[in-house]
Chain A
Amino acid sequence: MPGPLSSLLNARRALPVALVLLTITALLPARNLAWAGWFGTLVQTLAAPISHPVSRFIRWVVPAAPLVADEDAGSRAWRLRAEEFETLYLRERSANDRLLEQIALLQSGLELNPGLGVRQLATPVIGASSDLSSGLMSVRAPRGSNITPGTSIAVVEGVQLLGRVDSVRAMIAQVRPITDRSASRVEGVVVLGDSREAPRLRCSLAPAGDGTLIGPVENPAGLPMGVALAVGHRVRLSDPTWPESAQELILGQVASIQPNPEQPLRQMLVVRPLVDLSRVSEVVLRIPVSREDAGAESARTPAPAPVPREGGAPP
């Protein structure tokens, strides 16, 4: 390749300079490397014409295996629908409880934060990191989508929580899955039954590094007769550090119950997500919008765009 690039790349003197610069950047503190993210997004965008179609093809050939393997398409559709309505119901119930608390607070003269609406955006996964130790997932972030790091979340299969948006640059958002080693501990509840008054056990789960979550569960000693913690029970998010739109979403189902080595009277839960979160081809981002924005957006677009509050009006 004749020209300045060729002469630079064949230059003997420039190489040591480049290597010294690379050594410096390799050791620079993270706070001084924000500029590298722009170049990273540029490289990912340039690689997307190859990585995106190949990813889609691979995930079509080897889809994320659902937990219920021998389920036909009809049953699966009904199960997903039932899970979705159960999630909506539980969220409404917890929202109702929260509202009751807020009313109590109002009566005592405290200020309230205005509630947030949620806009849903289906977006493809355009590739993983070049190093699988990262675990962060790159998804497309269309211009003007106003994805906000920290408060936007990603879900799959309607109700399975995938993770939280970690950063957004240009047209790519990085999602940190709940099962990634670097993800923080989450608080959840094990729902022991289908009824409205089904007992719940609190648990605190951390990523195990093998696609599961593991952590101690509340002592089930005080459960009513005939109700027991068992493999297969759904575990839902109930963590105040996560956005409202993520509450009651499914973290997974109990895969095994082990004795807690540190506390003999307590048990440890191993929770496996309903799908393999590392092999999803599309996610739904739930982006918080203010009520005013939600109203303005729905006025602009005739389509049923933002839901006033997530799950507020079941179809």
Chain B
Amino acid sequence: MNWTVYLLALWLVLGLELSLKPALALGPTAIAPSLVLPLVIFVAMHAPSVAALWAAAVAGLLLDLTFPLALTTGGEVRVPGPSALGFTLASALTLNLRAMLIKRNPLTLLAMSIAGAIVAAIVVVALLTIRATYGDPIAFRPAPQLGARLLSSLYTGVAALLQALILFPMATLFGFTSHHAGHRRFTTR
């Protein structure tokens, strides 16, 4: 996998995520699509497994670092880990299923992005809820958070479908080999 292209793409979608999310949110709710996750799933569909897991961890870590959690005591804190672990698990899910996937179909990215986003949402909410059990003063309410994040997962699928139209033609730029890209699943000898 070409890491330079991946990191450039990640920089771009992270910038778009930080700026577009409030505009794409459904009314005054926190239901908004993730633009970073479809990129992670796309990489997991095509890249070597270790590289895909690293790519997911790096993307998740960047999201964690740009997620200031308000403290009930005033101020904010960035918690490195929840999204990084969630994205890694989402990537692992895709890696396990990818032998059965039709990788060149945009609907595959849609479906896997929804599934990956649900997994990531559960991991993030679980970890932040565990923090609350030992009195960490973060302003976080698990039940509404989980609901909003699960609905955001469905919305992420819509974003993934649009991103597929851009990402799929760029597969060769990412340095995915033809075997991993799924172009030569059936060859003639």
Interface on A for B, CB 8 Å cutoff?
1, 5-6, 9-12, 15, 18-19, 22-30, 33-34, 36-37, 39-40, 42-44, 46-52, 54-55, 58-59, 62, 127-136, 138, 149-150, 166-167, 174, 176, 180-182, 209-211, 278-279
Contacts and interface: CB of A to CB of B under 8 A. Distances in A.
Given A11-B50, A47-B11, A30 B137 contact: yes
Interface stretch (B54-62, B105-113, B177-185): B54-62
A29 B134 contact: yes
A42 B27 CA distance: 30
Nearest to B55: A9
Q: How large is the interface on B (under 10, 10 to 19, 20 to 34, 35 or more residues)?
A: 35 or more
B51 interface: yes
Contacts of B139: 181-182
Nearest to B144: A209
Interface string B13-41: 01111111111010111111000100000
A62 B23 contact: yes
Interface string B48-80: 101101110100011101111111101111111
B76 A25 contact: no
Nearest to A276: B28
A129 B66 contact: yes
B155 to A, nearest CB: 11
B66 A50 contact: no
Interface stretch (B82-90, B95-103, B165-173): B82-90
A43 B3 contact: no
Interface of B: 2-4, 11-12, 14-23, 25, 27-32, 36, 48, 50-51, 53-55, 57, 61-63, 65-72, 74-85, 88, 127, 130-131, 134, 136-141, 144-145, 148
B19 A40 contact: no
Given A52-B19, A62-B23, A134-B68, A30 B77 contact: yes
A127 to B, nearest CB: 4
B2 A1 contact: yes
B85 A22 contact: yes
Nearest to B123: A26
Contact of A25 (B11, B20, B80, B88): B80
B51 A10 contact: yes
Contacts of B17: 130
B111 to A, nearest CB: 23
A50 B71 contact: no
Contacts of A50: 11-12, 14-16, 18-19
Given A43-B66, A134-B68, 5 more contacts: A40-B65, A50-B14, A52-B19, A176-B70, A278-B25
Q: Which 4 A-B pairs have the closest CB atoms?
A: A50-B15, A26-B81, A182-B139, A182-B70
B19 A133 contact: no
A15 B53 contact: yes
Contact of B63 (A1, A25, A52, A130): A130
Contacts of A127: 18-19
A36 B65 contact: yes
Which of A37, A46, A182 gathers the greatest number of chain B CB atoms within 10 Å?
Answer: A182
Contacts of A182: 70, 72, 139
Contact of B79 (A36, A128, A130, A149): A36
A206 to B, nearest CB: 13
Contacts of B27: 210
B22 A128 contact: yes
Contacts of B78: 33, 36-37, 39-40
Nearest to A32: B77
A174 B65 contact: no
Contacts of B145: 133
A25 B81 contact: yes
A135 B25 CA distance: 12
Given A5-B3, A26-B82, A58-B20, A129 B68 contact: yes
B84 A22 contact: yes
B85 to A, nearest CB: 6
25 contacts: A9-B50, A10-B54, A22-B61, A25-B81, A27-B130, A30-B131, A33-B78, A40-B65, A43-B66, A44-B66, A50-B14, A50-B18, A51-B18, A51-B19, A54-B16, A55-B18, A58-B20, A131-B30, A134-B67, A136-B70, A136-B76, A150-B74, A167-B76, A182-B139, A210-B28
A58 B27 CA distance: 15
Contact of A130 (B67, B70, B77): B67
A27 B131 contact: yes
